[in-house]
């Protein structure tokens, strides 16, 4: 199952010409994954309280078209991989069904005290399994 949310492009998301540029799509990916986790009953604060950090290890974005100020977008997120220390979320940004950008972000799970990579906690894997697409589960 994929997680969809809608987002109205604000002026702060655009350049001086009113266009969403490449780097801001990565921010929209982050909004999507944050809300996906929230819908699963998790927040980044929950991870911190449990002693985990989830820093971005790598990010990829393929730009197709620009969004513009005041566009209503769909941010679609799904879990691509939950294995070992890696948690990868795929994202798509759409406007009226048209693909504007796509990519993925891989987060690494780190023990907050010892600053070492650790296996993904059960609290994450059990609640986010619902967002794995069938071909990826």
- 7 and 31 Cβ atoms separated by less than 8 Å: yes
Name the active-site residue from 4, 15, 96, 111.
15
Q: Is 4 a catalytic residue?
A: no
Residue whose tokens read 């990519």: 103
- Which residues are catalytic, by number? 15
């Amino acid at each position: 199952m994929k997680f969809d949310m809608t987002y109205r492009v604000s002026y702060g998301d655009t350049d001086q010409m009113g266009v969403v540029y490449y780097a801001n799509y990565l921010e929209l990916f982050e909004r999507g994954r944050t809300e996906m986790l929230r819908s699963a009953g998790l927040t980044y604060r929950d991870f911190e309280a449990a002693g985990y950090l989830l820093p971005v290890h790598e990010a990829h974005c393929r730009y197709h078209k620009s969004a513009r100020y005041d566009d209503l977008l769909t941010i679609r997120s799904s879990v691509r991989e939950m294995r070992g220390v890696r948690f990868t979320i795929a994202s798509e940004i759409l406007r009226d069904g048209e693909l504007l950008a796509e990519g993925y972000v891989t987060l690494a799970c780190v023990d907050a005290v010892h600053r070492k990579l650790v296996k993904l906690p059960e609290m994450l894997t059990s609640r986010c399994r619902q967002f794995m697409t069938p071909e990826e589960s």
